[in-house]
Structure 1
Amino acid sequence: MESNTSDKNNKKVAVINGSHFSDLAGFYEEVSGVLMKDAGWKVGTLDGFDDILYGGFGVFENHEDVEMVWKDSHKSKKDLGFELTGEFYEHKIRQGKPFNVDLARQKLDELMAGTGQTLFGILVEIIESHKNITLVLD
């Protein structure tokens, strides 16, 4: 298997391949394999994904400059789009605690009204909130 991380001019490059997954669980598997390698645990939530992007316990260190290339991002945008996002919030509402049901309802209402973010948009926003990470949608 080819490595999904490399050094490019002192900047780490991590490659997420959208052709490797078609849902959020698959995304978590992909980023766990790319960013966590031998860390002993896997990403399983949006908060967990945000946490690993701080670095220090995966393939890059805290505040290290990283270029994250999301190959086949157009496929991921479709896969992690409106339909899957609706199912994501509906599941949280059905399950109830420990999830914030009111917030999930609000996010679902926003999605249905066309003003809410899809899972793809949320993931992109999480990545872009880390100033040391440059996201390249390929």
Structure 2
Amino acid sequence: MLNSNQNKTITINGSRFSDLPGFYDEASLVFMKDTDWKVGTLDGFDDILYGGFGVFENKDEVEITWKKSQKSREDLGPEATRIFYENKIKQGRPYNVELIRQKLDELLSENGQTLFEILIEIIQSHKNITLILE
């Protein structure tokens, strides 16, 4: 009888993107291969990591290797995060502008998370996923 839990290895390549939309394209390519669904938000990225509708099932053990992670740390660092928050504030609804302003203030005072750190936190919140930064 085959074990229903499979081990999957997925590689995110930081040399293939330099901004958050590029990361979403990379995530769509490596996690959602052969599907019509594309990642387009942080919540959407979190959703695909539950598995079941991309390249792995929700019981699978998954190893993600993030190549060129230092480049991604810089590309998705404070400046990109500031722009991300400012754009959400400008857009207003449906976003919680007060919460986003608070997150922007934390970022500007060097106490907030960058987009890279948020993505890492999202990945690490999934207990069946091991992350390797290269």
Class of the TM-score when normalised by the shorter of the 2 chains: over 0.9
Q: Which amino acid aligns with 1:20?
A: R
1:109 and 2:105 correspond: yes
1:98 paired with 2:94, answer yes
Q: Which residue of 2 aligns with 1:123?
A: 119
1:76 to 45, 51, 72: 72
1:22 matched to 2:18? The reply is yes
Give the Cα–Cα distance (whole angstroms) in 2 for the partners of residues 22 and 34 of structure 1: 16
Q: What SS does structure 2 have at the residue aligned with 1:85?
A: helix
- Tell me the CA shift for residue 38 of structure 1: 1.4
Gaps of 5+ in 2: 1-5
- 1:65-88 CA-to-partner distances (Å, cap 9, x unmatched) read 000000000000000000000000
- Please give the per-residue CA displacement for 1:31-89, whole angstroms capped at 9, x wherever unaligned: 10000011211000000000000000000001210000000000000000000000000
What RMSD, in angstroms, separates the aligned Cα atoms of the two structures? 0.6
Shift of 1:25: 0.1
How many residue pairs match? The answer is 129
Q: SS where residue 15 of structure 1 aligns?
A: strand
| 1:21 CA drift (Å) | 0.1
Q: Which runs of 5+ in 1 are unaligned?
A: 1-9
Alignment-derived partner of residue 52 in structure 1: 48
TM norm structure 2: 0.95
- Distance in 2, matches of 1:32 and 1:102, equals 30
Q: Kindly, what percent of the aligned residue pairs are identical?
A: 68
Q: Pick 1 or 2: higher relative contact order, CA cutoff 8 A, min separation 6.
A: 2
Which residue identity does 1:39 align to in structure 2? T
Per the normalisation by structure 1, the TM-score is: 0.92
Amino acid at match of 2:82: G
What is residue 30 of structure 2 aligned with on the other side? Answer: 34
Alignment partner of 1:134 is 2:121: no
